[in-house]
Amino acid sequence: MKGFFIVFSFFIVSLFSSCDSPSTVLQKPIEKKAQDPEKFVLTGELIRKGLIKKNGMETGYTDLYIRASVQDYYIKFCESEVDRGVLEPLIGQVVSIHVVIKSGLWDDCDESETEEQSRTGNYVVVKELMN
């Protein structure tokens, strides 16, 4: 019985000593690629929305948006590298576009010092049409 206890004890000690701690198993640190947090590829339906004034009247002017998940992002073409004419034939289709998400004035496209009333919020600048 004493021999069995010694063999059993040796087995238990060797079992636990052979297990490496997590710090010795992960000797090489995990390297993550740096990503620019403002650059994304959005995939969603390209939609057209009419511009409505504060009084509820339609202006007859329409804007393009990309519907990504639960949010529609306004596409600001004056800062984009893709023209409106390239995207208009794709309205109603799912597209993938490389964008930069920004926050600011939607309707302010000139560099003048004059202030005009403008819609504000998050919008996208299209860098490239992916498909």
| Residue 51: per-residue pLDDT | 84
End-to-end alpha carbon distance in the chain: 75
- Helical residues (DSSP H) of the chain, grouped into ranges: 2-18, 22-25, 84-87
Q: For residue 27, is it within any domain? A: no
Instruction: Tell me if 84 is assigned to some domain.
Output: yes
Number of domains in the chain: 1
**Res 76 pLDDT > 90:** yes
**Between 120 and 77, where is the model more confident?**
77
Burial 53-66 (b: 16+ CB within 10 A, else e): eeeeeeeeeebbbb
120 lies in which domain range?
39-129
> Quick check: pTM over 0.75?
no
**Position 59 in a domain:** yes
- pLDDT at 90 (0 to 100): 96
Residue 87 lies in a domain: yes
**Residue predicted with more confidence, 73 or 68:** 73
What's the pLDDT at 105?
Answer: 87
* Residue 69 in this model has a pLDDT that exceeds 70: yes
- pLDDT per residue as tens digits for the range 11-60: 566 656 555 555 554 555 555 455 565 567 899 999 999 988 778 888 88
Whether residue 24 lies inside any domain: the answer is: no
Q: 83-126: per-residue pLDDT in tens? A: 999 999 999 999 999 999 899 888 888 765 566 667 888 999 99
The span from the CA of 53 to the CA of 55, in Å, is 5
Coil, strand, or helix at residue 56?
coil
Residue pair 97/126 in contact by the 8 Å Cβ criterion: yes
Residue 32 within a domain:
no
- Note the pLDDT of residue 59: 85
In a domain, 10, yes or no: no
**Does residue 65 form part of some domain?**
yes
Asked if residue 10 has pLDDT above 90, the reply is no
